[in-house]
A and B are shown apart, each in its own frame.
Chain A
Amino acid sequence: MSHAERLHADIENLVIQYDEGFRLRCADLHLKGHVFAILGHNGAGKSTFIKATLGLLQPLHGSLRFTYHDDGVSIPLLPERHMAFCPENGAVFADISVESYIQLWCRIKHGNAAYYKQDGSRYIEQLHIAPLMRKLGRELSKGQRRRVQTAIGFLLEPKLFLFDEPFDGLDVQRTSELADLMSTESARMAVILSSHRMDVVERLADTVIVLREGQIEAAGPTQEVAAQLCGHTLRISGLPKPEEQADGIRQRFPHYIVNRLGTEVTVTGEGSLPETLAPLLEPYAVQTELTPPSLTDAISYHLRQVRTTVTTD
């Protein structure tokens, strides 16, 4: 089995409710993958899904289970044994040094306070934690706190590492480094992440769960979900004035996602795009190609529909 399908998620008629009004619901669903991305608008239920995965929330009914498949062995994942979590704002005790904090975790999970200097030293190095070791938690920025908790998560050697908005607030270099580390480490562990950084998610995730107002809108392999959310992308090249023509398409079809990259214009949306756009493209000698949409465009399209629905409601 390729490592792309090591993580299996089985959801059976799941209902989670903890505040009056808000519910996370999901009918029966079986997903396979290795890096899962939980996507959706603010308040869609991403954090609730992660808390439920971590066993912090009790379903009203139904079940949610994750298993890790490795070399023909199926391991049911238990939060306290097999999972690590890095919250959006990171985590470090405010009044102790980063080193003491890391030592506390190493003592708790490995019974050896110096574990981070031995087997886990690569995480300290790759996430640039060494310069932070003597700093107190309250002296760290949000990004630094998250790096520390990310390093600790890796030090726990989980089978499943959950991240809540791991790239939020990181600069380009740190985002790239963290994404590289996730990509490398995903050979050893599965990952579930929620993020608004679609470019990075698209690069990392092979399975996507899209939530909308507490319901699973779409779930499955990344490309299938992208297509399910918004149909196709039409690539148009050969337009004489691509910027003007892109604006024309945007004005005529405001619900489409229209991008221009150099002389090429891409239009993403549902329905038969070649036929819909034919009147606009007829005057020009253009080449068109229908391709699956990118996740970024699909989610943008989806969120636009959500906003439209909310506004209409």
Chain B
Amino acid sequence: MWGDRGRFNPQTQGVNRFSFFPGSLVGSFKLALQFVRIPRLFFSLLFFPLLIGLGIVYVQALVTGIALKGFQRNSSTVEHFFREQQEFNIGRFILYGEGGLRPSIRVCRWIEQQGDTATRIEVPPTSECQPDRLDVALQVLDPAAFDPTQYVQAFQGNVERLHLCRSCHPDIIIDLTGAAPRTRLTSVWAFILVNLLNYHPELGQQYVAVMKGYDDMMALLGKNYLELPGFNSVVPLSELVPVMLLIINIAAVVVIALWLALKAHRKVLDYFAYSGVLLPMVAAIGKQRFYGAIWALTLLRVGAFLLGAIPFLIISLADFVKMDSVRVALGDNLLTFAIWLLAIVAGLAFATLVGSVADLKHRFHLLSFAYRYVPLILCIIGAFVWAFTFLFEGATAHLVRSITAGTPILGIAPILVAPLFKPGTMVILIHMLLTTGLLILALRSNARWFAAHLEDL
């Protein structure tokens, strides 16, 4: 900093040194608010990313809910599901305006009559049999003799009329004149209607019976625990899927928050550098206040995202996730959970930073796009090495496993699944400390480069 005496002081002039005393913070926030008054920055920096981030979280919560529902299926949930489907089905609601079962099927055997000319024409037998687009036609050679019982049973409750004819053509035509049946669907509505067969009550009854058999068989085993040699603790298999989904959700929120943070930095710097304003602005405002403003913008963006995403995630997952799974995901105590959370935040932040910095520094290199995948590749290699060690017993395998989990980037995957496989609080702590240290080192060692290439960003 050009200190109060006007002399350059290398101890305080560091490019990325910020003094977060209140006065500086207030000034930075005020400046950030001035920037946000620029419409382009408001939309590109706050509004759209926030919208996208929240959209991703909402979709993710929806998918997680569906997946959890699927994994938690048993005979009683299946029975409940099919009962619900009889009372209300969204497909029937779309087709008929009400979701309940339709009245009994009317079977209409078409007849031939003499037309105005010499030809004979096929007509419905009564006025109630006038065809509708949502009816089903069975095209057969002899409508008078064909037995439609199986088809009546299949479409019962979803279709109002079943036509036996040679040539009538509603949107669903089942051609039985050839060697094998062939169905033609000529509208989207017909497609929806045919899919209603999946919720047939008889099918449901058979499904429930099968599930009951499976439930009885599983009840003989009770809860399953995986206790492979090398595991520090037993892994409750019955909680595996919900815990993994919970972990994925937490990690996804962290990744999106980091993405928003990194993008906020890059966006502001790019926007200022592209228009040539960066250097005059940084010079006139001061590095501390300018970068402070970028941090403030980042905080605003990430804070708004977390405020929108976390309550939604908790509310939407509360219905599906049992407390047992939450307890497993949170670990033995809140301190362990906090260390784990810090470790994955630091790990993912470091991986993102390494990819981003390498990408920026070598952006004119032919293979520059590959740099961003280096941390990902290292992370996958680490995961394989860690998983491979479980094939072996003994102290060496345990040591390799612990070293892999404790190493920054290489250990991201083992640390992510730490609530399940419990590598030990010390290993998570070492991973967190090493990664945080490397993160700080990476920031400091690249600060000079960034300062020198501000206008090139």
Contacts between chains A and B (CB distance < 8 A), count = 120
Interface residues of A in 195-247 (CB under 8 A from B): none
Q: Is residue A253 within 8 Å, beta carbon to beta carbon, of the partner chain?
A: no
Known: A83-B284, A149-B280. A76 touches B15 (CB 8 A): no
A-side contacts of B280, CB under 8 Å = 84-87, 91, 149, 152-153
Q: Is residue A19 within 8 Å, beta carbon to beta carbon, of the partner chain?
A: yes
- The 8 Å CB contact of A87, one of B6, B8, B37, B276, is B276
Looking at chain A's contact residues, is the secondary structure mostly helix, strand, loop, or mixed?
A: mixed
Residues B6 and A145 in contact, CB atoms below 8 Å apart: no
Q: Is residue A186 within 8 Å, beta carbon to beta carbon, of the partner chain?
A: no
Residues A91 and B276 in contact, CB atoms below 8 Å apart: yes
Q: Is residue B129 within 8 Å, beta carbon to beta carbon, of the partner chain?
A: no
The complex places the Cα of A58 from the Cα of B282 at a distance, in Å, of 14
Interface residues of B in 27-45 (CB under 8 A from A): 31, 34, 37-40
Known: A19-B452, A79-B283, A91-B275. A65 touches B2 (CB 8 A): yes
Q: Is residue B378 within 8 Å, beta carbon to beta carbon, of the partner chain?
A: no
B-side contacts of A108, CB under 8 Å = 31, 34, 284-285
Segment from A34-42, A49-57, A169-177, A293-301 that makes contact with B: A49-57
Residues A95 and B40 in contact, CB atoms below 8 Å apart: yes
What is the CB-to-nearest-CB distance from B358 to chain A, in angstroms, rounded to a whole number? 16
What is the CB-to-nearest-CB distance from A129 to chain B, in angstroms, rounded to a whole number? 16
Residues A77 and B451 in contact, CB atoms below 8 Å apart: no
The complex places the Cα of A149 from the Cα of B286 at a distance, in Å, of 17
Residues B275 and A92 in contact, CB atoms below 8 Å apart: yes
Looking at chain B's contact residues, is the secondary structure mostly helix, strand, loop, or mixed?
A: helix
What is the CB-to-nearest-CB distance from B448 to chain A, in angstroms, rounded to a whole number? 6
Q: What is the interface size of chain A, counting residues whose CB is below 8 A from a CB of the partner?
A: 48
Name A153's closest neighbour in chain B (CB-CB).
B280
- The 8 Å CB contact of A77, one of B2, B13, B287, B448, is B2
A-side contacts of B455, CB under 8 Å = 87
Residues A56 and B40 in contact, CB atoms below 8 Å apart: no
Residues A76 and B276 in contact, CB atoms below 8 Å apart: no
Residue of B31, B39, B285, B452 most packed against chain A (CB within 10 A): B452
What is the CB-to-nearest-CB distance from B19 to chain A, in angstroms, rounded to a whole number? 13
- The 8 Å CB contact of A57, one of B31, B285, B452, is B452
Name A142's closest neighbour in chain B (CB-CB).
B276
Name B8's closest neighbour in chain A (CB-CB).
A63
Known: A65-B6, A76-B7. A56 touches B279 (CB 8 A): yes
A-side contacts of B39, CB under 8 Å = 96
Name A68's closest neighbour in chain B (CB-CB).
B6
- Using a CB–CB cutoff of 8 Å, the interface residues on chain B facing chain A are 1-2, 4-8, 10, 13-15, 31, 34, 37-40, 271, 274-277, 279-287, 289, 448-449, 451-452, 454-455
Q: 20 pairs across A/B with beta carbons < 8 Å?
A: A18-B452, A19-B452, A55-B1, A56-B287, A58-B13, A58-B448, A59-B8, A63-B8, A65-B7, A66-B6, A76-B2, A78-B2, A80-B284, A91-B276, A93-B38, A93-B40, A93-B271, A108-B285, A145-B276, A149-B276
With A18-B448, A80-B285 given, can you name 6 additional A-B contacts, CB distance below 8 Å?
A55-B283, A61-B10, A75-B6, A83-B283, A87-B280, A149-B280
